[in-house]
Chain A
């Protein structure tokens, strides 16, 4: 099966428009001013869905849908957002049952708006079940992804909606049935140059997971801190939305430009506290000052270099070619400020971007790290075209066999 970049873009746009429609419905009912920050479609391991929700408690309104497209969708609020919405509704009440009913109904109205756009575009009806109110922690608030025959990976649409002037947000997740979505995308695909075999996208995602595991191994070997690769996914969104994915938190890390097929950029980012922790674990002696010193930065630079290689070497070995990269450039800034110039550079040649994301963390000490790859979209398609699926597990090269 093949999907093309144009249909991925169209489907992502549909989800984005649906989220905007849902947000407008909420604004009309509550007077809360909100905007859809970003919508992306991701190919992700079933077990990793909703990992970004952490351990917080969420309220959700969930329902199933069926027709030309089948699956599950859920509107997810954190507890504070849910309370604020209830307070903002006409006839607000402190009665918990009534509050729950309010959330359920607003969720119903919002999500109907979300689904309607899909039905209109597909010129068909999409039926949905009555809404179900749920209150759970982290990823448990999300429904189980529908079964996909022979694949552990699923497509997920995720929109993040932010309230203007408030530090709260909510999310819309749509988990379509794999077969029905892929069939729809295939039916809308232009089988020309832009087509991507879905199976190869999945294999590439698996390679990325192995790359992330290798990067985590490298961190562990250098620092002695047991590190695990947590999430690995390929997402797709308009190029202008790429910086929003990284957010406004301050990061320390490295950026490299890689060349080959594909070319692009690779970022290894640590939050400031993690950067200090991990750099000190690398240093053979105590640092000369508090906070992030030049010694810390030198250690981060080298760690970024080694993690970058761990991440991209697998691609090169499977594709039987070399992927060169520039020496790492140290960055210390807000996430969006780091990514903006890279997205602008890529945006000269493409309207949409694939983003390859991995996260790693450890329970031992305060440490999280993110790896983001931004490949040239046309070259990634070329690489996927060349990818021999049967070589997918040959990510490691053995120097002793060559020397």
Chain B
């Protein structure tokens, strides 16, 4: 059971992800922007961050870069509506470990998590 931090500015999407994940994992926090994601990551040191890209204040790619710089062993899956190749490359460069495009269904989320944080 992995400890997961959810970073998404949409309350709707946070709720949806929580419902998908909480049966098998522990949700240690839910945040609305990249700044909060970095802060809560440093406090909680979760096994995994599910990170949106388009968020206010600081976007998910910048936050991933900061998390990976501070903790190279951190696991981050981008969980975003953005399906652009250039963005995917930016996410790889920032150190992201996986990429799920919204809309998603539970099996694809669980599969991506299993790839990054094997149980």
Contact = CB atoms under 8 A, between A and B. Distances in A.
B103 A301 contact: no
A337 interface: no
Interface in A148-206: none
B59 to A, nearest CB: 8
A221 B81 CA distance: 13
A302 B85 contact: no
Interface string B47-78: 00000001110000000000000000000000
Interface string B1-37: 0000000011111011001000000000000000000
A320 B9 contact: no
Interface stretch (A39-47, A110-118, A121-129, A395-403): A395-403
B40 interface: no
A10 interface: no
Nearest to A221: B103
Nearest to A279: B12
Nearest to B83: A313
A310 B80 CA distance: 11
Contacts of B82: 309, 313
Given A327-B54, A399-B101, A308 B11 contact: no
B85 A320 contact: yes
A225 to B, nearest CB: 13
A313 B98 contact: no
B90 interface: yes
Interface in A284-343: 284, 298-299, 301-302, 305-306, 308-310, 313, 316-317, 320-327
Interface of B: 9-13, 15-16, 19, 54-56, 80-90, 92, 96-103, 105
9 A-B pairs with least C-beta separation: A309-B81, A397-B85, A322-B86, A399-B99, A316-B84, A313-B83, A298-B12, A306-B81, A302-B12
User: SS class of chain B's interface: helix, strand, loop or mixed?
Assistant: mixed
Contacts of A397: 83-85, 88
A222 B16 CA distance: 11
Given A218-B103, A306-B103, A402 B12 contact: no
A402 B81 contact: no
A298 B85 contact: no
Interface string A221-264: 11000000000000000000000000000000000000000000
A15 interface: no
Given A284-B16, A298-B12, A305-B81, A322 B103 contact: no
B12 A322 contact: no
Given A222-B103, A302-B13, A327-B56, A310 B83 contact: yes
Nearest to A395: B83
B98 A327 contact: no
Contacts of B54: 305, 309, 324-327
14 contacts: A218-B102, A284-B19, A298-B10, A301-B12, A302-B10, A316-B87, A317-B84, A320-B85, A324-B54, A326-B54, A327-B54, A327-B56, A399-B99, A402-B92
Nearest to A223: B103
A282 interface: yes
